[in-house]
Structure 1
Amino acid sequence: MSLTSINSWLAFDIGGANIKAADGRGWSHSEPFAMWQDWKRLPDAIAHIKSLHPATHYAVTMTGEIADCFSDRREGVEHIVGSCSIAAGENAVFFYSVDGTLLRADKATHQPLQVAASNWHALARLAGSLAPSGRSWLIDIGSTTTDIVPLAYGQPIPQGMTDWDRLLYGELVYTGMERTPVPALVRSLPHRGSTRPVACECFATSQDAWLLLGGLPENATSNTTADKKPATRDAARIRMARSMLLEPASFTFADAIEAATAIVESQTLLIQDAMGSLIQNPLPEDHVVLSGQGEILARRVFDHMGWNPQTVSLKDVLGPELSRVAPAHAVAMIAQQRV
């Protein structure tokens, strides 16, 4: 396949909870999409986003193939590839592979594990272009997961290439700013001088902790929270009370903030453990490219480690909107041969 600058490109990052898109030149879009519930609507969702910013060619990276509506990754990849082909045309859409190439639809379905969970690799290539010398890392903390990718002279050098191997080596940590259930982070929480057990049910998530501590903005129209209620501090307070089976009416903001602080501390230590095993002898001259909405969490981890590396923030380089869709932006730039 010949990639030329004459073609206009639109790239998609199709995840399990969101679909993100970017053209590599400043336009971006993101919308919630619950793959595990709405997988049959995927062609329509892609076509809708395509209509907002038409292009001649489309590039796709994905993580949504792991959604439990699919029996395995092959079925998930086949569905995503097929949906994109329906929406954009089989001859106009290409799929990013973890070997750094773009595959046509037929090759992608025959090599499903090459295109499955590939967005981290595209993002790492973009990060490497911002830290082209010496030892560096990409740390990307999103809504669901944390990626820690080692780079050498601007090139990704991970130990694992599949998501299961990356999870094994600590390069993928299944915790993020929004979707991590509270019981996955703590088994008990402080409350007015005592410690109370947490119910092993998804009554509250990491999003609630970060809302309460000011690390995430409120969104009164959001319904992606644990109870489908607004993403506001008061609604987060109620969800936090419910996680300990306490009555919300008597659970104050001070109570909620105390619990949120403990949750964030546990999440910080979880990521610190992974980083500590990967980053041997951290040095001030090391470079780290920060990506995703969890930059505040990454910096907390650095503080815990006593590490003050040279940092490049994608939010500062790209702007807050584009940085939220950074893997899609990276794939578009790769398709345009600009990375």
Structure 2
Amino acid sequence: MTESNGSWIALDIGGANIKAAHESGQARTLPFELWKRPDELDEILARLATTFPPSDRVALTMTAELCDCYPTKAVGVNAVLDATLEAFGERPVHVWGTDGRFHDVESIRRQPLLAAAANWLALANVAARLVPDHTGILIDIGSTTTDLIPLQAGRAAARGQTDTERLQTGELVYAGVRRTPLCALATELPFRGEPTGLAAEFFASTLDVYLTLREVAPDPKDHSTADGRAATADAARDRLARMIGADRDSFSYEDAEAFAWAADECLLGRLTAAVERACLATVGRPEAAVVSGSGGFVAQRLARRVIKPGGPIVNLDQAWGPIASSSGCAYALLVLAQEQLGKKIMNQAGVV
């Protein structure tokens, strides 16, 4: 006899976005600047849960513990656990660790750093199955960070585990397609053919680059920009102009586009160097790539540069569908929970 072992919801709780996937096939990303409102996390999670069908079990991973509203990562991990337990009541919570296994809440309370920033490993191990016969690289570019994970024999071949180790190996780069200040990408960029120093101020971000290049859709209702004005190409021109002490009267749309392409090239150059560092000691030059994230359009260009000529590039939008790929770590966590814990839970319940 067989019976259901309960439905799963998987959560990837970050500092700027919360991603969720439900085994019904639904998935979504909810922007939430946790460091500004940490006391509201449980309410946000409870509200998010109501947008999905009922679930019996929770799979959890996180990166939010690094937010500066928490004095240490251990405090942050426990705060995320507290908020999740409050939001989901009596439902069992299974926490993903950097050891590639799920743990109960009390085990993570004793070893909180085991859960810190473990989401990349879930995504890498599931995505690697798409290129099992090649050495590869997972290129996951988000709003804030980029994961560059070597793949071998259908599994992640990363050397780093913690954020610090991964920053040292090149497997984590703090640069993305929305929230990265332009002055963190470069100290100067060309303007009308002349190298021009950039203001060391948060006048513009990579969101303005990709609004200008029409690779991110404008959203007049989105004001999470450097100056609090709308996320539109027109406002982006003003923000980019300030980076070189100019304004719209002396910085045309053509100037903005050329400036944005130069910034994009700067980001690509930085990521190319990181891929080389990440892969040199593990897989060498990758034969294939899996690309994902809200910055998948940049990941696609990067993949063409770094893999061997003619190698396959698998886009998770196509492989998993845009809904699942938009919340990639949560979706991968859902897959792993069903695989690793489903049978165990059924056995514990005496179901065969």
Name the structure 1 match of 2:345.
Answer: none
CA contact (8 A) 1:108 1:114 kept: yes
CA contact (8 A) 2:288 2:307 kept: no
The structural deviation recorded for 1:320 is 2.2
Structure 2 distance, partners of 1:60, 1:120, is 13
State TM-score, norm by structure 1. 0.93
Structure 2 distance, partners of 1:150, 1:118, is 16
Name the structure 1 match of 2:21.
Answer: 22
State whether structure 2 residue 330 is matched by structure 1 residue 328.
yes
Name the structure 1 match of 2:349.
Answer: none
CA contact (8 A) 1:10 1:58 kept: yes
Name the structure 2 match of 1:153.
Answer: 153
CA contact (8 A) 1:138 1:148 kept: yes
State TM-score, norm by structure 2. 0.90
- The Cα offsets for residues 219-240 of structure 1, whole Å up to 9 and x where unpaired, read as 2211222122221111111111
Name the structure 2 match of 1:250.
Answer: 250
Structure 2 distance, partners of 1:313, 1:24, is 21
- The one-letter code matched in structure 1 to 2:69 is C
Deviates most, 320-329 or 88-97 = 88-97
- Superposition map of 1:1-339 within 5 A: 6-53=5-52, 54-89=54-89, 91-280=91-280, 281-282=284-285, 286-305=287-306, 307-308=308-309, 309-337=311-339
CA contact (8 A) 1:24 1:330 kept: no
Label 1:226 to 1:74 Cα distance change in 2 as closer, same or farther (>3 A): same
The structural deviation recorded for 1:134 is 3.7
Q: Which residues of structure 1 form unaligned runs of 5+?
A: none
- The one-letter code matched in structure 2 to 1:163 is D
- The Cα offsets for residues 28-79 of structure 1, whole Å up to 9 and x where unpaired, read as 1211111110111000000001111121111111001100011010010010
- The Cα offsets for residues 238-292 of structure 1, whole Å up to 9 and x where unpaired, read as 1111222212343211111111111111100000001122334536xx2211111
Structure 1 distance, partners of 2:15, 2:217, is 22
- The one-letter code matched in structure 1 to 2:47 is H
- The one-letter code matched in structure 2 to 1:296 is F
Structure 2 distance, partners of 1:185, 1:313, is 26
- The one-letter code matched in structure 2 to 1:27 is Q
Structure 1 distance, partners of 2:215, 2:4, is 39
Structure 2 distance, partners of 1:135, 1:5, is 37
CA contact (8 A) 2:42 2:84 kept: yes
Q: Which residues of structure 2 form unaligned runs of 5+?
A: 342-352
Structure 2 distance, partners of 1:56, 1:306, is 42
Structure 1 distance, partners of 2:92, 2:22, is 15
The structural deviation recorded for 1:180 is 0.8
- The Cα offsets for residues 280-317 of structure 1, whole Å up to 9 and x where unpaired, read as 4536xx22111112222223224444743211110111
Structure 2 distance, partners of 1:231, 1:78, is 34
CA contact (8 A) 2:12 2:19 kept: yes
Structure 1 distance, partners of 2:302, 2:93, is 39
- The one-letter code matched in structure 2 to 1:176 is G
Structure 2 distance, partners of 1:51, 1:134, is 41
Q: How large is the RMSD of aligned CA atoms in angstroms? A: 1.9
Give secondary structure in 2 for the equivalent of 1:248: coil
Give secondary structure in 2 for the equivalent of 1:109: helix
Give secondary structure in 1 for the equivalent of 2:58: strand
The structural deviation recorded for 1:338 is 7.8
Label 1:111 to 1:5 Cα distance change in 2 as closer, same or farther (>3 A): farther
Structure 2 distance, partners of 1:251, 1:5, is 62
The structural deviation recorded for 1:331 is 0.8
Give secondary structure in 2 for the equivalent of 1:337: helix
Give secondary structure in 2 for the equivalent of 1:59: strand
Structure 1 distance, partners of 2:230, 2:25, is 29
The structural deviation recorded for 1:207 is 1.1
Label 1:305 to 1:107 Cα distance change in 2 as closer, same or farther (>3 A): closer
Structure 1 distance, partners of 2:323, 2:244, is 35
The structural deviation recorded for 1:144 is 0.9
Deviates most, 218-227 or 45-54 = 218-227
Deviates most, 45-54 or 304-313 = 304-313
Number of equivalences: 334
